[in-house]
Chains A and B, each alone.
Chain A
Amino acid sequence: MIVLDRIVRSRTAAALAAPHSVDHYLSRINPMWAAHEVRARVVDVRRETSTPGAPVATLTLQPTATWRGHRAGQYVQVGLDVPGAARRMTRCFSISSAASRPGEQITLTVRSHAEGQVSRRLVDAEPGRVLHLSQAQGDFTLPISPATPGIDPLLFITGGSGITPAMSMVRTLLRDGYSGRAGRPVTFLHHARSPEDQIYADELARIAADDNDVTVHLRHGDAVFNELELRRLVPRFRDTDTWACGPAGMIDLVRAAYAGSPRLRLELFKPPVSTGPTSGGISAEGDLVLAASDLQVANSGAPILEQAEALGLTPEFGCRMGICFSCTTRKAEGTVRNVLSGVESSLPDEDIQICVSAPVGDCVVDL
């Protein structure tokens, strides 16, 4: 088996399979055979909450042997072949299970959104379905294990679906032997819309009850994050290693409370982008963010290429009329309008031709 594995991963095999990939041939024989790519079979789908309009489910995935494992807090890109439309859509999801080793099962906890083309389908996925995965990514991780010396306390502040990476961290700590004898208190402060909408409610109750030095504080309803409360729970929070993950509004409040403390690690998850009514005309609202250059400018309504050039950038381009694809760039978020067709698209992490795409409202591109 190891010999076979070596062979399919070799450069010789890649040369022989060209112009296609070895993976392309392997997946024709068995969708779970892979040499480089990662795919995963849905093993189980369990409803966490049945919140109307936004139910949450936990998917257990069996990745291919190519999966290199993940550190607690990391995320994966999940590619789903959308039936009917023949499109593959890719979105990022935090892994909610404890740190995994190569080839081990992982879980994703996904909240369905009416507009979320991928999340909606994942929550209703049938076991047996095969998904495309990336390797685990991201630096929002827990570098500490029960074996790490020290008695510094740990703090997790999460909101809504932002609980998933923190859950992975706490599960990892507890699985690896973290206990009340470690002398390192862990505080878990989570905000959810309602008790019915609380993900992992049973498990969190169990964690809170066990003798493990983990304190769980759940806040429901209108109780947003507030600094005074945090100060009461963890008086020296600015000097406490903290992982915060949640929607933008919560993250802004947490960031302000920490006043630049290096102990704070943040992960923002993208809420679904709602597509407003198609205006048709030129929209000069919002800001254009050129993420790779760390620039932000008021959107002029012109194609992104022109706006970037006006800022002194020199993105690659060719025909400047939408035919040659030389200027294709990843749009991280926001809505763009194709100036030729007038069609708007709001998919996150989408490749767009910047010579013919104008932002509609706020827009973030990798330039």
Chain B
Amino acid sequence: MTTTHQRLTPDQLEAFGKEMDDLRQRILADLGEDDAAYIRGIVKRQQQMEVLGRALYYLPPAWPLAVAALSVSKILENMEIGHNVMHGQYDWMGDPHLSSRVYEWDNVCPSEQWKYSHNYIHHTFTNILGKDRDIGYGILRMDEDQEWHPYYLGNPVYALLLMVFFEWGVAMHDLEIENIVKGTRSMQDNKALHAGIMRKVRRQALKDYVLFPALTGPLFPLTFLGNATANLVRNVWAFNIIFCGHFPAGAETFSQEECEDESRGHWYHRQVLGSANIAGGRLFHIMSGNLSHQIEHHLFPDLPARRYPEIAPEVREICERYGMAYTTGPLRTQLWSVAKKICRLALPGRTSTPEPAAARPLAA
């Protein structure tokens, strides 16, 4: 899979990088009131949903509604607010509440650790085998170039578990358990990280599983259950959006050798080939934190996400002009494609099956 993508000449890569830089510059120069109003509006909506959800617990018949409102709030908070704010997309506003250096999201993974493993490792080394730990999160086999081992027979089960406990998976992600098993990392290396995670876990658990349930008095068990359900809903949603961003057929991986000393144009090129978009409506894009525009997000991780839909047609046109695959598809297609891949890679050996030529180049 690492060799299927079309190579561009260094000149082409440079020209492509220039076009991307220009596009980025144009949006940066245009940032202003609309972007600020948008994110503040989302925060307001999220807070309304949260207050509504927490309040509806006092009306036991409205329990499903309470869970629904809280789930929406939690999804908005993690995806459109937390993830994007921590990328520094709104740092230019100078508002400490929306600053990447201050914001601590509603997730058991501490922001500090998330920013390291996500903003730096994943976004810099996107889809480079052996460097980008988001490929399978150290648990799954998501690429044929990951050597098969009988352990991977459980691939679909692990995926299911990772989906259900996604925020915990994300928090443990930085501990690099697989490297400890391999012996390339020691428990000592994890000590500080571990302390940070435990502090955050305690805070999260206190909020959702002690304080808010206690505030509803005799309804404690129902509230407890409701909060757990809302966290589960967000886990399932976030897992699926994120796995559709890098693992459907069409998204490629790269070897460390081919990415050595890469130019800025090459880096942009790799971001496009390693990511996949999900087609959908406006509400869907908002609920995915605009990560449905994974390609645009990976090209410009620090531009406010609401700009991604706006620039997507132009990005696509440029990519097509350079003969680069721009992978996109509706959610169900991408989910199916990812699920197939997870199951297929549980088994050893089978090298890339030639699939029938499709409208888009497929790398699977």
Residues of A in contact with B (beta carbons under 8 Å apart): 12, 15-16, 18-21, 24-25, 28, 79, 84-90, 318-319, 321-326, 328, 340-341, 343, 351
Contacts and interface: CB of A to CB of B under 8 A. Distances in A.
Given A319-B120, A321-B124, A326-B116, A16 B212 contact: yes
A319 B262 CA distance: 13
Contacts of B353: none
B61 interface: no
A87 B94 contact: yes
Given A86-B32, A86-B36, A21 B97 contact: yes
A24 B97 contact: yes
A253 to B, nearest CB: 36
Contacts of B212: 16
A323 B302 contact: yes
Pairs A-B, 7 closest by C-beta atoms: A86-B36, A318-B120, A88-B94, A325-B88, A319-B124, A324-B119, A324-B120
Contacts of A325: 87-88, 91, 100-101, 115, 119, 302
Interface in B1-52: 21, 24-25, 28, 32-33, 35-37, 43, 47
Contact of B207 (A18, A24, A28, A341): A18
Q: Which of B24, B94, B203, B302 has the most CB of A within 10 A?
A: B94
Interface string B179-219: 00000000000000000000000010011000110000000
A90 B116 CA distance: 28
A351 B91 contact: yes
Q: Which of A28, A86, A343, A351 has the most CB of B within 10 A?
A: A86
Nearest to A350: B94
A347 to B, nearest CB: 9
Nearest to A90: B94
Contact of A88 (B47, B95, B101): B95
A86 B37 contact: yes
B167 interface: no
A87 to B, nearest CB: 5
B28 to A, nearest CB: 7
Contacts of A89: 94
Contact of B21 (A18, A20, A340): A340
12 contacts: A18-B106, A19-B81, A19-B103, A24-B97, A87-B92, A87-B94, A89-B94, A318-B120, A323-B302, A324-B119, A325-B88, A343-B28
A16 B207 contact: yes
Given A86-B36, A86-B37, A319-B120, A19 B82 contact: yes
Nearest to A327: B120
Contacts of A328: 88, 91, 100-101
Contacts of A323: 119, 123-124, 301-302
Contacts of B106: 18-19
A86 B203 contact: no
Contact of B206 (A15, A20, A86): A15
**Chain B, interface SS category:** helix
Contact of B116 (A84, A86, A318, A341): A318
A184 to B, nearest CB: 43
A330 to B, nearest CB: 10
A28 B302 CA distance: 28
Given A86-B93, A323-B123, A323-B301, A18 B104 contact: yes
B332 to A, nearest CB: 31
Contact of B211 (A12, A28, A84, A341): A12
A16 B211 contact: yes
Given A86-B35, A319-B123, A325-B100, A20 B47 contact: yes
B237 interface: no
A266 B87 CA distance: 40
Given A16-B212, A19-B104, A341-B28, A318 B91 contact: no
B104 A85 contact: no
B77 interface: yes
A199 to B, nearest CB: 29
B264 interface: yes
B181 to A, nearest CB: 26
Nearest to B98: A88
A24 B264 CA distance: 40
A19 B77 contact: yes
Nearest to B271: A323
A100 B214 CA distance: 41
B105 interface: yes
A341 B93 CA distance: 19
B224 interface: no
Contacts of B97: 20-21, 24
Contacts of B81: 19
B63 interface: no
A85 B33 contact: yes
B322 interface: no
A24 B104 CA distance: 14
Given A24-B97, A321-B264, A325-B101, 5 more contacts: A16-B211, A21-B97, A79-B94, A326-B115, A328-B91
B203 A15 contact: yes
A88 B33 CA distance: 12
B220 interface: no
Contacts of B105: 19
Contacts of B267: 321
A25 B119 contact: no
A85 B28 CA distance: 13
A130 to B, nearest CB: 14
A114 to B, nearest CB: 21
B349 to A, nearest CB: 36
A86 B33 contact: yes
B109 to A, nearest CB: 12
Contacts of B203: 15, 18
A15 B24 CA distance: 38
